[in-house]
């Protein structure tokens, strides 16, 4: 960005603070446009301030960077499409009551001789001011986008666009060294000598990147549409059951196998099966060549796909440290409870009620228990016959950050059991394989405990019931106050019995006087 420092402009392209209050919980609609070398995308963020959700998300494949290496200018057809897309985005923002759209442009616009003219054309036609960022700033913002979804992450962020590829290291919530390169598929496509010529350029460039970045053998975070398309194909090759890209994990061996898988299959048939656009599929083989080289050179511990990048990094840039320090998963679940639950705030009482069943649970499990309790009632409007399935779908496929795939399924199983005793006979059974038998059983216990607890509060007053669990004796006691005794009817007792069965325990009902 013009005048940027290591910390970026004071308010970046927003020209004003988005988060004036560090205690803010909710985010008003914010529209961000990413003018990339391959696509132009509008995202409108809404929801929890620490875990912004996609209220609106639209991408137009413009290929602004196509032919740039040969002509030095933006693709003329792409320019027209990009301006038209920006005009549409402006109209959408107006219809949503969004006064300002905040736009950044990356490699193609910054490298093209007619880039400044394009920026002026967009401003004149749509009123949208585009901030053109350099490669290091692009790397930094992409890395901050990863930190928005993965607080405290460490490793190497690799962001690939159409005309460039950036690397940035992250550790302890901060962005360290970063570097940009010309390893974008649109540029690689124009290299003379075909695959052999590309291989030479890729190898030499990655070697230079390695010299600059040094040893980076922790996690490799992949940001960018070409990486996401490659991940979809990896899922297809593996027969992976959960079609969620964010936090999808691969190994170096997976990357090598999938690159060979792409070479061995008909591109059109593969893209149709995996839901990849024609324009994107044309770039995937070259992106696979780059990733193979990056993985061989840096030897990461593992590889993770991030759906968060520059756009999310722009929001993270604005967050005061107190907001950054919050857990994005818990914040998103609490927002959902405030917005959709019948009794907002009851989720925390439910956390206290089920807590005695998990006295020695590790911190990651306790975090999932808290998340589930906040989400336990947000799908109550669904038809009772389908409520359990809706809950499972919401948990496993929602736009939630800071959540591994196995953790998504854990939440899904727990919330399914919040509304249904049995999990057999659903369309989700192949997903249960992402959990161990112990994790499935623990999720069932949590779900049935929430199912019981939801029966035992008529208001937000003192708790009318408490659980006492003796794991060594495998004995569960429920203690009922006089008010709780009135609430503990036949249905509640049946739910208590179901919880006892899930624990394979003996039980006791104790009336307090």
pLDDT band at 486 (very low <50, low <70, confident <90, very high): very high
pLDDT band at 460 (very low <50, low <70, confident <90, very high): low
**Residues 6+ away with beta carbon under 8 Å from 132:** 1, 2, 104, 105, 109, 110, 115, 119
Q: Which residue has the tokens 């940027």?
A: 4
Each residue's pLDDT tens digit, 208-241: 999 999 999 899 999 999 999 999 999 999 999 9
pLDDT band at 152 (very low <50, low <70, confident <90, very high): confident
Going from the N-terminus, what domains does the chain have, and what CATH number goes with each? 12-133 (3.30.420.40), 136-311 (3.30.420.150), 328-462 (1.10.3210.10)
Position 9 scores a pLDDT of 45
Q: Which residue has the tokens 């050179």?
A: 297
Each residue's pLDDT tens digit, 235-293: 999 999 999 999 999 999 999 999 999 999 999 999 999 999 998 999 999 999 999 99
pLDDT at 7 over 50: no
pLDDT at 472 over 70: yes
Average pLDDT on 145-160 reads 93
Range with lowest mean pLDDT among 7-11, 354-358, 378-382: 7-11
More confident residue, 60 or 401: 60
Position 28 scores a pLDDT of 87
pLDDT band at 462 (very low <50, low <70, confident <90, very high): confident
Distance CA 155, CA 171 (A): 7
Burial class (CB in 10 A: 0-12, 13-18, 19+), 68: buried
DSSP 250-297: E-HHHHHHHHHHHHHS-HHHHHHHHT--HHHHTTHHHHHHHHHHHHHH
């Amino acid at each position: 960005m013009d005048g940027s420092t290591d910390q970026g402009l004071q308010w970046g392209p927003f020209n004003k603070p988005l988060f004036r209050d560090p205690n803010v919980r909710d985010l008003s609609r914010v529209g961000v446009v990413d003018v990339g070398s391959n696509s132009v995308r509008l995202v409108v963020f809404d929801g929890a301030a620490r875990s912004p959700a996609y209220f609106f998300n639209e991408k137009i494949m413009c290929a602004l960077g196509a032919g740039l290496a040969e002509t030095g200018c933006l693709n003329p057809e792409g320019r027209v499409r990009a301006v038209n897309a920006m005009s549409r985005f402006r109209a959408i923002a107006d219809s949503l009551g969004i006064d300002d759209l905040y736009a950044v442009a990356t490699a193609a616009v910054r490298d093209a001789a007619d880039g400044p003219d394009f920026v002026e054309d967009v401003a004149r036609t749509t009123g949208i001011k585009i901030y053109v960022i350099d490669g290091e700033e692009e790397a930094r913002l992409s890395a901050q986008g990863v930190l928005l979804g993965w607080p405290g992450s460490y490793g190497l962020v690799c962001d690939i666009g159409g005309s460039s590829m950036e690397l940035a290291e992250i550790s302890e919530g901060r962005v360290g060294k970063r570097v940009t390169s010309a390893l974008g598929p649109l540029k690689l496509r124009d290299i003379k000598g075909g695959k052999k010529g590309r291989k030479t350029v890729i190898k030499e460039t990655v070697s230079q990147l390695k010299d600059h970045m040094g040893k980076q053998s922790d996690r490799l975070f992949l940001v960018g549409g070409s990486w996401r398309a490659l991940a979809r194909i990896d899922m297809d090759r593996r027969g992976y059951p959960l079609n969620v890209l964010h936090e999808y994990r691969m190994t170096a061996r997976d990357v090598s196998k999938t690159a060979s898988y792409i070479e061995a299959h008909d591109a059109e048939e593969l893209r149709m099966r995996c839901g990849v656009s024609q324009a994107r599929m044309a770039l995937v083989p070259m992106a696979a060549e780059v990733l193979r080289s990056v993985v061989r050179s840096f030897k990461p511990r593992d590889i993770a796909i991030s759906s968060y990048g520059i756009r999310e990094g722009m929001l993270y840039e604005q967050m005061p440290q107190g907001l950054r320090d919050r857990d994005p998963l818990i914040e998103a679940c609490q927002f959902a409870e405030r917005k959709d639950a019948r009794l907002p705030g009851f989720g925390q009482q439910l956390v206290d009620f089920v807590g005695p069943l998990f006295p020695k649970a590790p911190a990651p499990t306790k975090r999932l228990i808290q998340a589930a309790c906040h989400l336990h009632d947000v799908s109550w409007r669904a038809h009772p016959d389908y409520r359990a399935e809706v809950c499972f779908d919401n948990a496993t496929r929602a736009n939630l950050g800071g959540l591994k795939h196995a953790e998504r399924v854990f939440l899904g199983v727990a919330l399914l059991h919040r509304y249904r005793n049995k999990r057999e006979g659903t369309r989700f059974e192949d997903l249960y394989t992402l959990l161990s038998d112990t994790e499935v059983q623990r999720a069932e216990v949590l779900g049935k405990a929430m199912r019981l607890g939801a029966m035992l509060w008529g208001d937000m007053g003192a708790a009318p019931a408490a659980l006492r669990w003796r794991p060594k004796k495998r004995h569960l006691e429920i203690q009922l106050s006089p008010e709780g005794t009135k609430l503990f009817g036949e249905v509640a007792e049946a739910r208590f019995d179901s919880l006892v069965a899930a624990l394979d325990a003996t039980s006791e009902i104790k009336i307090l006087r």
